[in-house]
Chain A
Amino acid sequence: MTSKKASKQTFESSLKRLEEIVEALEHGDVPLDEAVTLYEEGIRLSKECAEKLKATELRIRKLTKDINGQFELTELDEE
């Protein structure tokens, strides 16, 4: 569950961070070494995002409740 939360932050916040980086680079008051550092971070983030988009299979699971009313996710039976 925590890993899901972490990955959830990655995609949306990665894109947000990328926009910030572009913004910072565009404003021109960033020294060169900092610009290169930002660029490195940007390339890494955009690579991560692109990687996520490579998924080819849609994952689908079913929400069920056990006898105690606790939620469980089970794989969907494929017909």
Chain B
Amino acid sequence: MLFPISETEKNVLTVTELTRRIKQSLEQAYPRVYLQGEISNFRQHTSGHLYFTLKDEGAQISAVLWRSRAALLMFQPQDGMKVIARGSITVYPPRGNYQIDVDQLQPLGIGELQLAFERLKQQLAAEGLFDEAHKKPLPEYPERIGIITSETGAALQDMRSVLARRFPAVEVVLRPVQVQGVGAADDIAEAIEDMDRYGEVDVLIIGRGGGSLEDLWAFNEEKVARAIYASRIPTVSAVGHEIDFSIADFVADLRAPTPSAAAEMVVRDRADILDVLRNICYTMRANLEDRVQEGRGTVQTILNSYSFNRPFDMVRQYGQRVDELDRTLGTSFSHRLRLDLQRHQAVRDRLEALHPASVLKRGYSMVRKDGKIISSAHKLKEGDRATIQFYDGDVPTTVRK
């Protein structure tokens, strides 16, 4: 049976023409669609383009994701993964088929991201990236702190204010990065490598403020994890809030629950350090006092047996040095320390009390013969001429028996 040619002639289309019309109407009708489905037949061509099928219970559609877009994916698509694809419908005339040209692809729901997270975590754990043995201790008194975060984010402000309050003597070296979105992971990984090569910071904080799992995703990327692992600088991760755990947290030498907490962890409070210094000064002074007491005993022994002049000079020298120390101390220390100084002054006063003149003032006197001090009664005999020295003058005398 044949169609009546006369009726159909003017309506006959070529395959090309029909396909052109289908292409035009389909592509105009679906310039952008969001499509939910499950990935199957996933394959990555050597060219870098990704080809797969999206399907559900009732239908399927071919999908392509060009290399330039594929490079920006934040997860590795796999068969069976449920996704949402954004793209346009295109028709490929030579094969007479249509497909979705995907420009964005994301896992459907948090579940899929979690899955990708767990997968990477297991893989890196198996490789030993989280091993305690590899973790570096943080320096006790860092002088330079490297920070990798957004230049405009709240995290930087938080860390600055904590550092300024606790230990403003440190210097911060910021390497600004993009902390979310396409390219963030590359930027962060490069920043870590830069800091490592720069080499002039003592500790490194990497982080950002809170956000959704997607916002924090860059810190769950493998390249960031590997950069942290390779870094020679002790690294603290500070990603999001307390409850957020990132892959970066597991690799870092220390995990801080928030950026502010990271700043608290890397520097000690200067008030605490001042306490330590005060303690040190106090202990030194107390010990020095002990030494001076010992010295005093020694001087006493010498006084009993020998000319006073030399030991007095020593005592005076020490007194003078303590005086100088008093002056150098100035006002830089606490009231408490000044009290210590006063105590020290008292010790010095006591030492000065040992001055021979002071001893004489207290009623003692010295007997000399031929200019030499007579310290024993046996050294004088009848008829000897001697001189008694009082604090205010000498009296010549003769021994009478």
Contact = CB atoms under 8 A, between A and B. Distances in A.
A25 B284 contact: yes
B288 A63 contact: no
B172 A61 contact: yes
Given A25-B283, A26-B287, A32-B294, A58 B163 contact: yes
A53 B164 CA distance: 11
A63 B146 CA distance: 9
B291 A11 contact: no
A71 B281 contact: no
Contacts of B292: 32
Interface string A13-36: 001001101100110101010011
A79 B151 CA distance: 11
Contacts of A35: 287-288, 291
Given A18-B280, A36-B318, A50 B332 contact: yes
A79 to B, nearest CB: 8
A15 to B, nearest CB: 7
A40 B291 CA distance: 14
Contacts of A32: 291-292, 294-295, 298, 318
Interface stretch (B32-40, B108-116, B268-276): B268-276
A59 B144 CA distance: 10
Indicate the member of B167, B280, B292 with the most A CB atoms within 10 Å: B280
Contacts of B152: 79
B169 A36 contact: no
Contacts of B172: 58-61
Contacts of B79: none
Nearest to B277: A46
Contact of B143 (A11, A15, A53, A58): A11
Interface string B150-175: 01100000001001100111111111
A58 B168 contact: yes
Contacts of A39: 284-285, 288, 325
A62 B295 CA distance: 56
A56 interface: yes
Contacts of A53: 167, 169, 270, 273-274
Contacts of B200: 1, 4
Contacts of B173: 60-63, 73
Interface in B327-345: 328-329, 332-333
B288 A62 contact: no
Contacts of A42: 280-281, 284
B194 A63 contact: yes
B392 interface: no
Given A35-B291, A49-B277, A11 B141 contact: yes
B280 A22 contact: yes
A66 B102 CA distance: 38
Nearest to A18: B280
A62 B328 contact: no
Indicate the member of B152, B163, B194, B277 with the most A CB atoms within 10 Å: B277
A40 B169 contact: no
A55 interface: yes
Contacts of B318: 32, 36
Contacts of B285: 39
Given A12-B140, A46-B281, 8 more contacts: A32-B291, A42-B281, A53-B270, A53-B273, A58-B163, A58-B168, A61-B174, A65-B194
18 contacts: A11-B141, A15-B141, A18-B280, A22-B287, A25-B283, A30-B291, A32-B294, A39-B288, A40-B325, A50-B277, A55-B168, A58-B164, A59-B172, A61-B174, A63-B173, A63-B175, A71-B197, A79-B152
Sorted nearest first, the 3 A-B pairs with minimum C-beta distance are A25-B287, A60-B172, A58-B164
Interface of A: 1, 4, 7-8, 11-12, 15, 18-19, 21-22, 25-26, 28, 30, 32, 35-36, 38-40, 42-44, 46-47, 49-53, 55-63, 65, 71, 73, 76, 79
Interface of B: 139-141, 143-144, 146, 151-152, 160, 163-164, 167-176, 194-195, 197-198, 200, 202, 270, 273-274, 276-277, 280-281, 283-285, 287-288, 290-292, 294-295, 298, 318, 321-322, 325, 328-329, 332-333
